[in-house]
Chains A and B, each alone.
Chain A
Amino acid sequence: MIGLGAVYVLAGLIFGAIAMMSVLDTSNTKRWINGLFWGLFAASFLFGDVLGDFGNGLLVLAMVVLAGIVGLGVGRPVTTESAARRQSAALLGNKLFLVALTVPIVTVLGSLTLRYVPSGRGVPLFEPAQVTLIAFGSSVIVALILARVVLRQTLAAAFQEGRRLLDLLGWASLLPQMLAALGAVFALAGLGTAVGDLAAQAIPSDSRFAAVAAYTVGMALFTAIMGNAFAAFPVMTAGIGLPLIVMRYGGDPTVMSAIGMLSGFCGTLTTPMAANFNLVPVALLGIEDRYAVIKAQIPTAIVLLAVNTVLMYALVFR
């Protein structure tokens, strides 16, 4: 059965190639640092399962030291200038959009169909639980082939351009995975219970509206701390939602949960802890201010949280 392991091997090989290209880029004074950093990324994908927990811990700490203290350089792969790009754009026209949409479309099609592909041995060929990521990995391969055939971009050129974008991301490339790992350590140390106890003590429980507001605002705040609403939901719902809104005031758990989760998402809009949504785009788009995306989202988050609170109050006690 083809599973996530195969996609990890693909990732390991691509990161490995980018690591080697980094080392060979003599225009970058920190080429060995960059090479080592992307090389460790490759090693994590290729050998993560045999390194052991402590080995993986040392690997990630080494990456943190390289990107956070030593500092990564920015490679200068040979790329095309804007005149050449405009010429190429005129020549290729809408074929560019066709290739650009390959990754999303093949991923969607694959995630809908791959689970039904038989292996001939009575089990599915692709691990059903992982079809989306397998489809995504396959879509990248299809797109790279189309880039070669339709756009005449060699694989080496694609990897060099990929390196250009990865160097643009720099430390931000590691942050989403680091934050997910931090969430796991938070959970292991019992942070959820600690916050739940704290919230339960601080809640004024004398009115329906106070209970609803405590739940929605609590979801948003705790989500902002944890970086995702999934960690906040069980804690807040067990601490405030079920005992107060459902048990004491007879609210509807379905309405409460649906709007409660979305109140958490308001918190996600405001926090650097949700790095892949809020910090990674800043790096990807080359924006000066690290918190520019968060600042663009905060007013929406605040107004929507207020709307959610009113909505829940109006709908949950029907």
Chain B
Amino acid sequence: MLTLLGVAVVVAGFAARINPLLVVAAAAIVTGLAGGLDLIQVIAAFGKAFNDNRFISLAWLVLPVIGALERAGLQERARDFITGLKAMTMFRILALYMLIRQVAVAIGLTSLGGQASMVRPLIAPMAEAAAEAEFGSLSAGKHDAIRAQAAAAENVGLFFGEDIFIAIGSILLIKGFLEQNGIIVEPLQLSLWAIPTAIAAYIIHAVRLFYFQRKLARDTQTQQREKAPA
């Protein structure tokens, strides 16, 4: 039960908005000590796990490419492109991106997207440009809200598309775990049963995006009314 102390450190640390790196390091040390390791062993265990997971930080290799593209005007081009398409509202851009992302992931094309390689350079600027074309200039808070929605659309599309692809890690994990417990399942069956949730996820989030668009429209209208003298 003492090992749960580490979880308490994480929850309290994140809630208090302490620097997450300090929270994680403290949680690792507390968990290790509570689990019966000494300090040297904890540091070594954490160091080994850190080294084994270096592949996660490889994602940043894309940043020089994204940076060079931004320097050459990619975000500006993305904005112009969207403003040229009058039919493209913020809602339609994010709903369409989420659909493409989810379908691509479902057929195994997981790398066709991502927060660093698609959302920052393309999707977020497009959504902001479409909203500005429709509603005029927006406050910093509104820009933040649209960016957060762009990031969320990416996550929802990715999470609830990937389990439809049979060779994805989570499907293989399920198959392996059930096999250890003497139950044989077909990966294809697992991916079929992921489809109802995938459809529900898309509908729920698209509806929420639609209401976000409506709220943005209402908010900007009230703002304009307040500005105009009666």
Contact = CB atoms under 8 A, between A and B. Distances in A.
Interface stretch (A6-14, A23-31, A114-122): A6-14
A144 B68 contact: yes
A2 interface: no
A135 B189 CA distance: 30
Interface string A288-314: 111011011101100110011001000
A233 interface: yes
B150 to A, nearest CB: 8
A213 interface: no
A63 B50 CA distance: 12
Nearest to B124: A285
A207 interface: no
A90 B51 CA distance: 44
Which of B3, B149, B198 has most A Cβ within 10 Å?
B3
Contact of B64 (A14, A60, A284): A14
B230 interface: no
A249 interface: no
Given A8-B54, A68-B25, A173-B60, A96 B163 contact: no
A262 interface: yes
Interface stretch (B29-37, B85-93, B216-224): B29-37
A165 B68 CA distance: 10
B47 interface: yes
B64 A258 contact: no
Interface residues of B, number: 117
A105 B113 CA distance: 10
A281 B62 CA distance: 14
A188 B47 contact: no
B137 interface: no
A278 interface: yes
A200 interface: no
A269 B47 contact: no
Given A57-B50, A86-B73, A100-B74, A191 B31 contact: yes
Contacts of B21: 63-64, 67-68, 171, 174-175, 178
A175 B20 contact: yes
Contacts of A191: 3-4, 6-7, 31
A90 B113 CA distance: 25
Nearest to A263: B197
Contacts of B133: none
A1 interface: no
Counting chain A residues whose Cβ lies within 8 A of the other chain, the interface size class is 35 or more
Interface of A: 4, 7-8, 10-11, 14, 41, 44-45, 48-49, 51-61, 63-64, 67-69, 79-80, 82, 84-90, 92-94, 96-97, 99-100, 102-105, 107-108, 111, 132-133, 135-137, 140, 143-144, 147, 151-153, 157-166, 169, 171-186, 188-191, 194-195, 198, 225, 229-230, 233-234, 237-238, 242, 246, 253-255, 257-259, 261-262, 265, 268-269, 272-273, 275-282, 284-290, 292-293, 295-297, 299-300, 303-304, 307-308, 311, 315
27 contacts: A11-B54, A11-B57, A44-B50, A54-B47, A93-B77, A96-B69, A96-B74, A104-B117, A144-B68, A147-B68, A161-B71, A177-B50, A190-B3, A191-B3, A191-B4, A194-B1, A254-B186, A254-B193, A258-B191, A258-B193, A261-B174, A262-B159, A275-B20, A284-B116, A285-B147, A292-B148, A296-B152
Given A8-B58, A158-B67, A272-B14, 6 more contacts: A57-B47, A67-B21, A68-B22, A103-B65, A164-B67, A189-B35
Interface of B: 1, 3-4, 6-7, 10-11, 14, 17, 19-22, 24-25, 27-28, 31-32, 34-37, 40, 42-77, 80-81, 109, 111-122, 124, 140-141, 144-145, 147-152, 154-156, 158-160, 163, 169-170, 173-174, 177-178, 181, 183, 185-186, 189-194, 196-198, 200-201, 204-205, 208
